[in-house]
Homo-oligomer: A and B are copies of this chain.
Amino acid sequence: MKRAASEDQLLSWLRGRIPEEATDPLLGDDAALLPRGGPWAVTVDSQIAGIHFDPDLDPAVVARRLLAVNLSDIAATGARPAYAFLALSATPGFDHRRFFSALLADCRRHAVRLAGGDLARQPAATTATLTLLGTLPPGGHRLRRSAAAAGDELWLGGTVGESAAGRRLIDSGARLRGSKVELPEGLSQSSVALRAAARRAVRRHLLPVPQLELGRWLGRQRRAAAIDVSDGLSRDLSRLSRESAVGALVVAEDLPLSDHFLPLCQRIGCDPWELVLGGGEDYVLLFTLPAGRRPPAHFACRRIGEMKASRRLHWTLGGARALLPDRGWDHLSK
């Protein structure tokens, strides 16, 4: 059966797929009861058809992306994810079971338990909202945006801009079908390396990888500030700096870029700096550490600048210094 016949049938199907429900049921009451514990890190993030993903995207990918973007928020606090609550309002014909199968599989991978939710119909744009609760490991600090100080070094947990390039490719017709990325016609004459870069960008956009381990490492440091780059490096750096009441200087040449990023941007007609600074949905951690402190090499982080006492944000490119342009994703005005 592809579609759930009713909410109660879907609930019963779900309960049979969550092993813990047999001994410690959380689903099926008006509210789930979580055990005493904490402190809890709580985050909420939505994925909306036509805004965050293409309406014909596989519901399994929608589910995995929804969990990943919420896990990225939990990563930025240094917590360990624990419980998920889903509100899903879907347009007619939505394949609920495909969505839930993928969600439960990725929840298991991250030791997250789906503990409740709400199902509804939606007239036009499928909307999925996940609330994720994580616990701070005993003795772990909480990572905040406000802990940066002048003189700290500024780091990135991974490349930026690639996800936005992937979004442009999807806007031009690229699609993930099963595990294979189909590229737009226009790229068929490109080199093998460029097409591989384009496929990676599409995958990176649709299935971001939350940096949970890095977040927990940062949470064990004496002092670190962190934010996950969801709305663009420039905007999210501006938030971290504002909360910490400091400024920053970013060295453009030190920004980590994905393989073949510059030729890919050229091929799809995008300004690479536009994507790097303002593209967003990178879901890597942007963080600060006291000068001289380095994350372990296996995290492959890159130092991209330093925090300054003056509250302005600057960047240098080819030796010239300028104000960092305030670009990025605004959830209301765009």
Contacts and interface: CB of A to CB of B under 8 A. Distances in A.
B127 A122 contact: yes
Interface in A77-119: 77, 79, 83, 85-87, 89, 96, 115-119
B29 A77 contact: yes
A330 interface: yes
Contact of A332 (B30, B85, B121): B121
A125 B33 CA distance: 31
B118 A46 contact: yes
Interface in A110-150: 115-125, 127, 129, 131-134, 136, 142, 144-146
A31 B73 contact: yes
Contacts of A116: 42-44
Given A89-B48, A331-B120, A39 B34 contact: yes
Interface residues of A, number: 73
A298 interface: no
Interface string A295-334: 0000000000000000000000000000000000011111
Interface in A28-54: 28-46, 48, 50-52
Nearest to A79: B31
B119 A50 contact: no
B5 A46 contact: no
Given A51-B89, A85-B131, A123-B51, A33 B28 contact: no
A136 B73 CA distance: 27
B127 A127 contact: yes
A64 to B, nearest CB: 18
A134 B122 CA distance: 28
A243 to B, nearest CB: 6
Interface stretch (A6-14, A178-186, A188-196, A258-266): A6-14
A273 to B, nearest CB: 22
A218 interface: no
A228 interface: yes
Contact of A87 (B7, B8, B46): B46
29 contacts: A4-B332, A7-B331, A7-B332, A8-B239, A10-B332, A28-B243, A29-B76, A29-B146, A30-B43, A30-B227, A30-B228, A31-B76, A31-B77, A33-B41, A36-B37, A40-B40, A43-B85, A43-B116, A44-B116, A44-B129, A45-B118, A48-B123, A51-B122, A51-B123, A85-B131, A96-B332, A119-B331, A124-B125, A125-B125
